[in-house]
Structure formats: C-alpha cells, structure tokens
Structure 1
C-alpha cells in the first residue's frame, strides 16, 4: 500500500504489466507443432559473389570468423542466450573489465544480455487471435497482410526477410479451440513493410484458409546478432596479433600513440574548400585529418546539436579524395536515415559512377528517398552488390555500420583484397619477391557515431583494418574519423543496462588521451574555449575537434542545454530565428521559449498500453493552431513530440479532429526526432504524477531523469520552444529544475507559478553565459544607453561584473586575432 497524489491509500500496481491474454491462447504457442517453412526473401549469394572474382582457392586460407552455430561453447547461440540460465553464462563482467585481452568475453557477455532482452521485447509484441488478410492485389502467390500495432514508431525490430511464426486458430460452436490447426506452425517470411499503415506483407506457403485468425510470435533474428558477434570475434583475433598495433590503437588509444606538439599551429589553412561556409573549427578539423599529424589514433569530432558534424564530414571526405593517392573511402552512419543524408550531400559533388549507397536487401523500397536511388545498386527489384570490377572503381561507399557486413561477407575488406592481390601476383610471377600492395580502403568516416553500439562500429572498422604484418611495410595506414555527440540519444538497445549502450565514440572520449587533454571541452571554464598558446607547449597534438557554433536555434533555446551538457561553450550563429517573435503568447522577456504548467491528470491505457494526457494534448494542439492562425508557421514547420507512444497516438487523434484539423503537423515519439529540427517544437512531457516515475525510469520511459532525452527534446527547436509539463513533478529532476529556474527567472512561464522560487529549485543553479548575454543585451537596449560599460553600471551591475564582461570581450577579440595569425589551434 502507498499514498497516491491525493493522500489516499492505494495498492501499488504495475502500470506496465502485460495485457491479460487467456491461458488457452497462450498455451497454443507452446504446443508441439510441425513447422511449414515459407519461401525466403531474396538475399546476396555470398559464396557465388566471392567465387566470381577469387575462384575457389585464393581466399580460403583466411576465412571470416565462424557463424554462431559453428563454434561450440563460445558462440552466441539462441539456445544459450535465451535460456533461463543465461545469467550463468553472463558471469561477472563489469565495464571496467574491458581490455584488449578480454574483448571477446566482454562483448559476448553484452550480446547475450542483448539477445535475452530482445527475446523479451518480442514476447511483449506477440499478437493473439488477430486476423490475417489475403493480399489480393499482390501478384505473387501466398501473400498475406498483417496489422502490427506500433510498427510505425519502430517499437518492433523487424526487417524484410525476417521469420514470423503463425499458429492458425479455429473455434467450435462453443467457442473452444480446435487442436487440429494450431499443431502446425507456419514460419512466414516478411516480404514487405508498410510502417505508415503498420502492416507487414508475409509470404505464407501451404496455408489452408479454414480460419484466418492467428497467434503471431516474433523472434530474435540470429543473423543480426550474429553479425555483431562475428565482428567482435574478428577484432579479438586482430588484437591478439602482436604485429597489428593499428587495431589496438583504434580501440585502446593511449598517449604513446599520439604525437607531441612543440610549436604553435600554422596560421593559414591552404585548402580549396568545396563548402566556403565552413567555420574555423570545421576547417581546422578537415585540415588536421588531411595532414594526419595527430598520431595513430581515431580522430573525434565532438558536435553538439546544430553545429555541423555532417557538414564537416562531407567536406572532409571530398578533400580526402583530392589529397590522398588513389583514395577509396568508407563512409558510415548507424541508421539508414543518417546514411541517406550523407549520400544526398556527397552526391551533389560526385557522379553515380564515383559513389555508391549500399543497402541491405532487407531494406524496403518505400523507405528509400527517390533522389538517392541513382546511387544504389538494384537487381530484380532488390538491393544488391555490384560486381567486383565496378565496386573497385567507386571512390566512396556509403552504408550503415551494420550493412557494412555485406562487404565483410563478400570479402571486400582491406585484409581480403590485400591477400587476393598478393595471391594473384604470386601465381603470375612466382619468381618475384613477395609484393606489398597498397590497401584499397584509405579512410573510414563515421557520422552520428555516438548512436552506434561498439560491435556495430567494429563491422565498419573491420573493413578498413590492415592485414597482419602490414604495418611492417611502412606504407600508408587507414584514417579513422568519428563525429558524434555523446550527450544525445545513444545506441538503441533492448537491454537498458548492457555495455552495448555505450558507444565506441563515448568510450574513447573517456580515455585520457581525449578526456584529460588541456583543450578538451570538459577542461574549459567560463564558457570560452581555451586557445592554444605557447605556455601550454609541449603537449599532445589534439586528436579531436570541439564544434561550438550552433547554426540552428535561438540563444534562449540553447541557454540551458549549453550550460548543462557542453560546459557553456555553445555560440549561437543561427540567422533568421526571429519570425515567431510577434506571437502574442510569449511571456516575461518574450524570448521564444515558454514553459506551460499542466495539472491535467495523466491516464494509462487499459492493458498496459501506455500513458496519455488529454489536457496536454488539447493544449498542444491549441498552441499549434494559434501559430497557424497567426500566419507565423506552416503545419509541416511545427513538431509535437511526447516520450510516451500512447500520447503520440492521442495527439494524432486530436490533431485530426475537426476542432483542430491540423493533420500535417509532425507528431511522433521523442526518439524519432533526433537529428531533425523544426521551426517550432511543442514538447509534451505527459507525466503529471510522481507516483509512477520510478517505473518509468526502470524501463527507460518518459523524459524525467533521462538527461539525453531532455537534451534532444530541447535542442530540436529553431525559432520557438513550448514545453508543457507539471512543474511539481519535473522539478525533482536536476536538469528539468535548471530549465524551470531559467523560465521562472525570465518570466517565460504560463500557468500558476505561485510560490515558485527559482532560487530554491532542485539541483545546482545554472545561469548560462547565453542567458547573461541575452539579459544584458536586452537591458542595455531597453535603457537606451549607447555606452555599453556605462549602461551596465547604470543598470546596477557591480564593477567586478562590468570588468568581467569587458575582459571577456578583450579575450574574444584576442582569440580572433590569434587565429588569424596562426597562434591558436
């Protein structure tokens, strides 16, 4: 028993409990059954592909790591990973146990955790007594459609080619199940996915349509986890080789792998930029990678929201094509959408004969933007790999980290191509000395790297890694660059406590060569990036760049995230962010940022469907409509987000209602908007009761005590941000407390704020550099004083504050002068 928000004693309930399903329906899925397989979706024939250029012998000496089912006792079999005794296999590995000698064991442990969690996830999505419809318009035989709730929001991991288990149900006149049908299990194959309509197209062979009601079970697809496991196995093999230090220095870089800097940097960067709008930090990152003077370590680009990470990587790729000898680049991202963005931007400067977008055959065509199809290889209406001769001509390959496994299995890695070339030359010229050809892949660039699990990043890393013994030839080694932001959403995993949640990018930034460097972002104070001056020398040449200029948002929107996550270093550079200023709903200082206090009760859908809040949904739609009626924004320029999927569905219903009729407003779960931006963002926090926050947190739901979600939510907005929430609930989270205090101090508040004292908010008070600048700018302008220093004094600022502001201006001016004369990094 416990007290609810009204002080009434109630029995504690699990609001996330699974919906009730009759035992007789559940028992159907456990009953013995004969299995009828269905035609598989088309896939790449890897043995045939490899034999087309390597024959039957040239690459057999160095096969790829074994599949899961082939390594007894070591492999991540579904039997072990999903058994009740999986915890015995997990052992006691902890994050601090990750070392080059224990790499395989560490990630085997993590992958077993992930497999177990994914199995539970599949069980949560199981469907009972649902109809299967005949796809009459599909000319292919045995095609059916299945409606899957939640498919639109990617809550279920499913792709073309996956197997879905069906148990056909039939009932007698009394409503009792007949046993005849469900003793047969159809292993259907997914042939198409329509997320907008939340339907799957399934191939189901041998189905007798006596009844069209089914139990549906989803399962962990061993191939997807197997790709991750094989990458770990291959990397562990490389780490054990004493003559391959490149892989070790990419995964466990130390100061010994860096280069010591004894002089200040050159004053001018002599680059013919493709993009002339790059700023100083972006240009410096490109130039540093081109000169490759930072050592044999990964180069990391730390890019907060809106600072141009992708822009920097695109310029870097194009410059590498110009500066490297015979360049061939692998450019990756964790998601299809991020990889599509890369190909769209690179494709503006390159022809389809120079750049290829590799998609797995499992990708659905409707999900692919039409303007990138000319850069893809399509064969018989399926994505495929081009022949080797054509593949070798491409200067850039763009794919996802996971789909890079297609290249791995097609034996298109540096190690395999090197072995192949050596073997051919040895056969043709047996009397000649052993040749040491150049590596084919010269660089790996990875965007949004903080969203990739480390095993996913390893797949791409395995493509470019040099073969054993290659370093002794003293030839050029591949460059590895990652760009990301560890303070936004990390990898999407089913397990909330697995090492898989820490990306390689985030882990590397914690290593001393990056995190303890004097120029690291974490070492800065006062909101000003420390310049490289002679008194710091000698020091390790920084193998990183901190992007600081935000080109997305109004300073008021950036103020709190900059202070909380980026050591107050963000500099607002966005233009044209004032078009919403005339909206009459802004409060206080009338900055385009508003907190709206909501006391409307949150409710839970029956059967554990999730949380929604009708009051909040009505408020969000009214605010959106207000901007539309004022002519300040178009529907597609407005985004409404919530961390709860039930509220997302509720918001869509409200938006389509005749009272609002705003169906084109972008509405979705918070996670769907990472990497995106909108003119106006309306954030619905939904939760208005403290009682269920602990359950939210234990399941990684909601936006309270979830700092990365908080950061992503606030930094999507360009010109206007409205947050709807319950201040009495949010203030118990230190990050939300800082935001509430910011809004309260500046009057950016709508609703009852009686008794709200921003100085007593939970957590340390954060007054950011951007907030101080906005206040001083506004107050000086309102006072009508032309002399800024005199104006600050007349407004009541102490002499020390005036001096600090003055000195800050002098320091900024000196930094700009130094940069133009080559005295800064």
Structure 2
C-alpha cells in the first residue's frame, strides 16, 4: 500500500489555490452577435405557443436588494400560497430564481482562455464545472469574443454539444474559423437557458389542476383497507411485493381511485421499494383495462426516468411503452443497451400516441403538452417527486384533465429541489409538492391504517438494522423495519475493517486539512483519502469484498477526483465514487463517507452554495441510508458535533463501540462542545 508520504506527493496541491478573478468589464457590451446554428438539436413544431415570461421591471428592482430588504417590500411580504394566488405566487418565485441564476452564471465569465479544435468542434476547459459552477447542459449556448478586439468586433454564438467533468464541447458558425487559431485567446460569456423556466410559468395557468393540489379537510375520508383488499385481490406481476402489506395496499388503493381528485402519495423512505410499487400499480392498471388506460409517468431527472423504463421493460414490450427524450439528448450514446433503445421515440405525437405508457422527465412532459398531446391521460405518475420544484411537477400535471388520477411517489425527508435564490428559497420554492402535501396542517395525508390518500412504505430491504437506527429515529418516526436478506445485511459483521465486531458502523476521527488548488473552488482532504484507502484495502484483501460493491460518498467533486486517483494508483479501480447527489436512490454493500471539512471558518461558504454535510439534514439522511452491510465515516468529530444530526449519530456510534481515533468530543453542561 502507498505510504502517507507517497499519498501526499500524489494528491498534494498541484498549484496554490487562487480565486478566479471576475472579469472586470462587460466585454459583450455593444457587440454585434453572429448567431450559431442549433445544428443537431432540431426542435419539433409545437402546436401551443410559449410566451416569453420576461422578468417584470418592478421585480428586478426588488431582487437587486439584499434578502431582508427585498422580503419587506409590498410585492413579497404579503405573498401567500393558496389555490387563488397560486399562479402569482410561483411566477414571482420563479422570477426570483431566474434573476439569481442569470447573475450567478455571469460570475463564471472567462477571460483570456484558449480553446482546442477537434474536427468541427471546440473544447473549452471550465474549472468548477463538475460542481455545476457554472451549470450548463447540452443545448445551452455561449458567446465568445476575441481578446484585444475593439467594440466594433463580433461576439460568436456557440452551442454546447457535450459536457464533461472539466470541459465542454462547442460548435460555432463556420465564419468563426477565420478568427480562431490554436494560440488565440477569448473571453467567454455563459448564458442561462430560459426554456425550462418558461415551461414552468406556462404550466401554472392550469386552474382546474391547482384546485386539486389543496385538498380540503372536508374531503378527508377513511376506509376499511382490509375489506377493500379482500374484495380486490389480484395476482402480482412482481412476486417480491406479495408479502409486503404496505406495497400491496398502495397498489390496491391506486387501482380503487378513492383518493381522486386529490393526488395519491406513495411515501417511500430509503430501501422500501417505492419505484417497484408504482411500476406494479401501472402494470396492474394496464391488466385491468378499465376504459382506455393511458399513463404518463415522469421524474425530475433523466436518470430517474431511465430507471422507471428499465423496470417497466421487464414485462412490457416497446409497443406498449415509449420513452420520450429531449431533442438535444444523444440517444445512441446514452442507451448503450440496444434493448432499451427500442423504447425511445421522437418528440412527435404520431410516434407515441398509440402507446399505453409514456415515460419522460417533467420538463419534457411540458414539450409533450406543447405538441398538443395533453389531456388524454387517465393517470399521471411522478416518481422522485421530492426532488422537483412544485412548478416543475406542474409541467407534467398540465397534461391532466379533471378525470386524470395523480400519483406522487417520493421521500420528502431526502434531498429536495436545488434552489439558487435565497429569496425564492425563503418563500418556499425549495419545498416540493409532495413535502407540502405531507406537511399540510390537518391535511388528509396521515398515512394511518385507514387512510385512502396515501401509503407510507415501512419495510426496508436495504440495510442492517444498526445502519438504519439513527436515520429511522431522526426522519421516519421509528416506523421503518429492517427486513433485508440477512445473508447480505449481516455479511460483514465480522469484518476486519470494523472497530467492534457485530456492529457494522465505524467512525474514524481524522483531523486533516481541507484544501483547494489552482482555480478550482472545490475542496479536498488528503488525510481522509489516506484513511479511506486503508479501509478499502482491508475490505478487499482481507474480507474479499468485491470492488464494485464499495461506494465512496463525499460532498465535494475535488475529493471525488483525489480519491479516484488514489484508488487507481493502488489498483482499486471499479469502486463507485461520487457526491451525495450521485448516490440518491442508489445503494452499495459498503459505503464509506468522507466529510472533508476541518476548518470552521469555511462553513459559511458551504452554506451559500449548499455544499457539505453540516446544516444539511436531507443530505445527511441520503448519505447515511445508502449502505447495506457496512458503513464507515471519516471526518473531524469536533466540526461534525456542531450539527445536531451528526451529533446524534456520533453519540450512537460512540455508545455502541464504533468510534475510533482521537478522543470523543466533550460537552459542557449547556450541551455545547468543549474546544
């Protein structure tokens, strides 16, 4: 194994961190623009026009103020969310978010950079891209201006064709070649793609759907679920749910439609089979064919939508299921499995109008509506609904008629939607629809034994009961039951990598240094990476754990990069290493967490960009619920002790004998940690 000195040499700062200097002048001012071609991203012809929804000037004047002052203005201080004020409420929040995103992306203007030519394309290195700073996707565009030119010269528009961790691939108009050479330097302006925002604004006009998102207390009814299940027995398609009363209840209640017109909620904590449940419900609806069943199933991300497609494709052929992707998505490269590629259809009504189940992202569902394909669905399912902003879910729900049944599946206790504007966040844009409904005071979603509006899944098939213990207490009212296969969940209780046998959790106290390098804003911690290498070596070489069964989670992309480098240098390729967001919805036999942070003064930076683990309970919840049989955390206990969730977790691990390293933090009489 590599010694510590070799590790520091391998992973140490390549160059001192130097904060990227903001471009000092507006190099786009008065420029004549040469527009690029959206070549390769041909948009369909939409039947329903989409308004511009530009930010009103009076709101711009408010958003430029600091958060406290802005929230005191008459336009914002009286904003309330209800069915009457719904459109105005979310329009205002979306305008605040857009204003912030426009300003944020201008922070990443680049000055004096070179590009490499590759065939018809140009490669631009972008520090911070892996952490979405700037946030760009395929189909977005940039403007570049040759350095040193006067204001009479042109700005060239280029469209992004590929995004990697540290670079983007751009295509410019042919005339750009006349100003390019390998040593020419350019200023780069990133732009904000307004199309998703415009689709969300447009979706807020669906008044008949909005009423249904505020179920009244009078609508709250209860039923005898046992009797309903006896009368509506059915043969399961997925036999694994037969002995799970909660999954069976959810399927029966979705079929019975007693919840309508309110949405039905499948509250799916980690490892409880949420997606399996709604896929079974969809297949059962098709089997029954009450009327002309037609289902739209959406998720906030392409990865979540693709998981649904895989589950549906196990028993349903491509003539029944269609996966609709955005026009800019490269189907050939995304779907390496030719079997799944057969389900993909063009964004054209004729190509999928006869299919029974349509799978798409929420955003693409807005395009389906614009094609004139809405109002024909008997059911709309939204999976991972907790990760979407409410207006984002509305882009899918605008396809509903008054008769359409709405089913939301997700976990409001895990990571929610990402919101950049502090104003929009304070006013509630970061709260998903499923979270709002679940937390509605005196609402119908009590998830009791007789509730017909939703089911909370309670049988966890993923984790050893000790791994589940603290998150179950902190987030799930101790209702989760560890029901996993013990040959898996208990397979590492005697691991040599554990501090205490029969207790599958280990915390290693490491007082490392959090560092940055070059112009990258991301953090890393070499001492923690070295400790993780020791754990991996023990698991692989002494316990015969397969490398692909090990996941390593850290909140910073630079730490991901450093750990990957270290593992590859020690012949441990194949480990799954990524951020918390990468791991949401996933699991591994072994999970090792690197918390990275060791310097209290840097925590304010994390809070601003929603990075790190501290004061992020949902990120904590995701991280500590991924492991099946073994979980190790490496970090600075004194810093973690400042967070109530980590503090509770650390105390539990210490009591049960899983804490190793520097002395456990002491508390004063008032509960504060002693320095």
Q: Name the TM-score class by shorter chain.
A: 0.7 to 0.9
- Specify the SS of the correspondent of 1:185: strand
Q: Is the 8 A contact 1:118 1:220 kept in 2?
A: yes
Which residue of 153, 161, 164 maps to 2:139?
161
Unaligned runs of 5+ in 2: 1-16
Once residues 682 and 675 of structure 1 are traced to their aligned partners in structure 2, the CA distance between those partners, rounded to angstroms, is: 16
Task: Say if 2:309 is the partner of 1:309.
Answer: no
Q: Distance in 2 between matches of 1:669 and 1:496?
A: 23
Q: Distance in 1 between matches of 2:299 and 2:573?
A: 31
CA distance in 1, matches of 2:574, 2:355: 40
> Which residue of 132, 136, 145 maps to 2:123?
145
Encode CA deviations 1:690-732: one digit per residue, 9 max, x unaligned. 2332332243221011100100000111111100111111112
Q: Distance in 2 between matches of 1:214 and 1:182?
A: 16
DSSP 3-state at the match of 1:464: coil
- Within a 5 Å distance, the mapping from 1:472-483 to structure 2 comes to 477-483=403-409
- Does structure 2 conserve the Cα–Cα contact (< 8 Å) formed by 1:300 and 1:543? yes
Structure 1 match to 2:3: none
| Structure 1, 692-701 or 398-407: larger mean CA deviation | 692-701
Q: Deviations over 1:739-769 (max 9, x none)?
A: 0111111111111235757999669xxxxxx
How is 1:48-127 mapped onto 2 (pairs within 5 angstroms)?
A: 50=47, 66-68=50-52, 75-77=53-55, 86=64, 92-93=75-76, 97-127=80-110
Contact in 1 for aligned 2:128/2:166 (Cα 8 Å): no
**1:361-372 residue pairs with structure 2 within 5 A?**
361-365=327-331, 366-370=333-337, 371-372=339-340
Query: Which residue number in structure 1 is paired with residue 400 of structure 2?
Result: 464
- SS of aligned partner of 1:97: coil
Q: Could you list the per-position Cα deviations for residues 278-327 of structure 1 after superposition, in whole angstroms to 9, with x for gaps in the alignment? A: 11100101101111123421101111101000000100100111222110
Assess if the C-alpha contact under 8 Å between 1:745 and 1:758 holds in 2.
no
SS at match of 2:429: helix
Identify if the C-alpha distance between structure 1 residues 755 and 442 changes in structure 2 by more than 3 Å, giving closer, same or farther. closer
Residue 363 (structure 2) aligns with: 402
- Residue correspondence of structure 1 range 689-700 to structure 2 within 5 A: 689-700=599-610
Q: CA deviation at 1:673?
A: 1.0
CA distance in structure 2 between the aligned counterparts of 1:206 and 1:80, rounded to whole angstroms:
40
Secondary structure at the residue paired with 1:120?
A: helix
* Distance in 1 separating the partners of 2:319 and 2:508: 53
1:228 matched to 2:200: yes
> Structure 1 residues 182, 344: closer, same or farther in 2, change over 3 A?
farther
Residue 624 of structure 1: CA displacement? 1.3
* Alpha-carbon spacing, 1:761–1:352, altered in 2? closer, same or farther (3 Å): farther
User: Residue 304 of structure 2 corresponds to which residue in structure 1?
Assistant: 338
Give per-residue Cα distances to partners, 1:425-445, cap 9 Å, x unaligned: xxxxxxxxxxxxxxx310001
CA shift digits 1:248-287 (9 cap, x unpaired): 4421111233445479634624111101111110010110
Q: What is residue 439 of structure 2 aligned with on the other side?
A: 510
Separation in 2, partners of 1:710, 1:78: 38
Instruction: Specify the alignment match of 1:29 in structure 2.
Output: 27
1:320 aligns with 2:266: no
Matched, 1:253 2:215: yes
8 Å Cα contact 1:331/1:397 also seen in 2: yes
Matched residue of 2:239: which SS? coil
RMSD (Å), alpha carbons: 2.8
The residue aligned with 1:490 is 416
- Deviation of 1:683 (Å): 0.4
Kept after mapping to 1: 8 A contact 2:225/2:249 = no
Match of 2:236 in 1: 273
Provide the C-alpha distance between the structure 2 equivalents of 1:260 and 1:298, rounded to a whole number of angstroms.
Answer: 15
1:411 alignment counterpart: 372
1:604 CA displacement: 3.7
Distance 1:759 1:627, change over 3 A: farther
Does 1:719 find its partner at 2:655? no
**Would you say the 8 A contact 1:595–1:722 is kept in 2?**
yes
1:346-377 deviation digits (Å, cap 9, x = unpaired): 01111111110000012233334534211012
Q: Call closer, same or farther: CA 1:166–1:368 in 2, change over 3 Å.
A: farther
Written as runs of structure 1 = structure 2, the 5 A alignment for 1:196-207 is 198-207=167-176
**Paired residues of 2:496 and 2:542 also in contact (CA < 8 A):** no
Partner of 2:10: none
The answer (yes or no) to whether the contact 1:358–1:398 under 8 Å persists in 2 is yes
* Secondary structure of residue in 1 paired with 2:240: coil
Task: Check conservation: 1:332, 1:460, Cα contact below 8 A.
Answer: yes
Q: Does 1:353 align with 2:343?
A: no
Structure 2 SS opposite 1:507: helix
Deviation per CA, 1:58-83, whole angstroms, max 9, x where unpaired? xxxxx55x511xxxxxx334977767
**Is residue 2:217 matched to residue 1:217?**
no
Residues 485-526 of structure 1, C-alpha deviations (whole Å, 9 max, x = no match): 011100123225523211111111122454773x45xxxxxx
1:676 positional shift? 1.1
- CA offset at residue 482 of structure 1? 0.4
Preserved CA contact (<8 Å) 1:600 1:614: yes
Query: Which is further off, 92-101 or 580-589?
Result: 92-101
CA apart distance, 1:91: 5.1
Alignment partner, residue 379 of structure 2: 443
Which residue number corresponds to residue 376 of structure 1?
344
Given the superposition, is the C-alpha separation of residues 490 and 482 from structure 1 closer, same or farther in structure 2, using an over 3 Å criterion? same
Q: Deviations over 1:153-198 (max 9, x none)?
A: 55543233211111122xxxxxxxx3259832111112x2142673
Matched position secondary structure for 2:381: strand
CA 1:393–1:151: 2 relative to 1, 3 Å: same
CA distance change for structure 1 residues 639 and 543 in 2, over 3 Å: closer, same or farther? same
Structure 1 position 738 matched with structure 2 position 664: no
Report the number of matched residues: 638
Alignment check: 8 A CA contact 2:217 2:443 kept: no
SS in 2 for 1:463: coil
Q: Contact 2:229 / 2:252 at 8 angstroms: preserved in 1?
A: no
Does the 8 Å contact 1:605/1:646 carry over to 2? Answer: no
What is the alpha-carbon distance in structure 2 between the residues aligned to residue 194 and residue 480 of structure 1? 35
Report the more deviating stretch, 262-271 or 693-702: 262-271
Is the Cα–Cα contact under 8 Å of residues 28 and 182 in structure 1 kept in the other structure? no
1:259/1:515 CA distance change after superposition, 3 Å:
closer
Matches within 5 A, 1:358-757: 358-365=324-331, 366-370=333-337, 371-377=339-345, 384-388=346-350, 390-414=351-375, 440-466=376-402, 477-498=403-424, 499-512=428-441, 514=443, 517=446, 519-520=447-448, 531=449, 541-575=451-485, 576-605=488-517, 607=519, 609-657=521-569, 660-753=570-663, 756=666
Question: What is the rounded CA distance, in whole Å, between the counterparts of 1:263 and 1:335 in structure 2?
Answer: 34
Structure 1 distance, partners of 2:77, 2:489, is: 46
User: Equivalent residue for 1:801?
Assistant: none
Q: Is the 8 A contact 1:734 1:762 kept in 2?
A: no
Contact 1:193 1:364 in 2 (8 A): no
Query: 5+ residue gaps in structure 1?
Result: 1-16, 51-62, 69-74, 137-141, 170-177, 239-243, 378-383, 415-439, 467-476, 521-530, 533-540, 764-825
Distance 1:662 1:128, change over 3 A: farther
| Pairs within 5 Å for 1:811-822 | none
Aligned partners of 2:388, 2:579: CA distance in 1, in Å? 20
Larger Rg: 1
- Contact 2:79 / 2:89 at 8 angstroms: preserved in 1? no
Contact 2:637 2:664 in 1 (8 A): no
Give the TM-score normalised by the residue count of structure 2. Answer: 0.88
Q: Is the 8 A contact 1:637 1:679 kept in 2?
A: yes
Matched residue of 1:107: which SS? helix
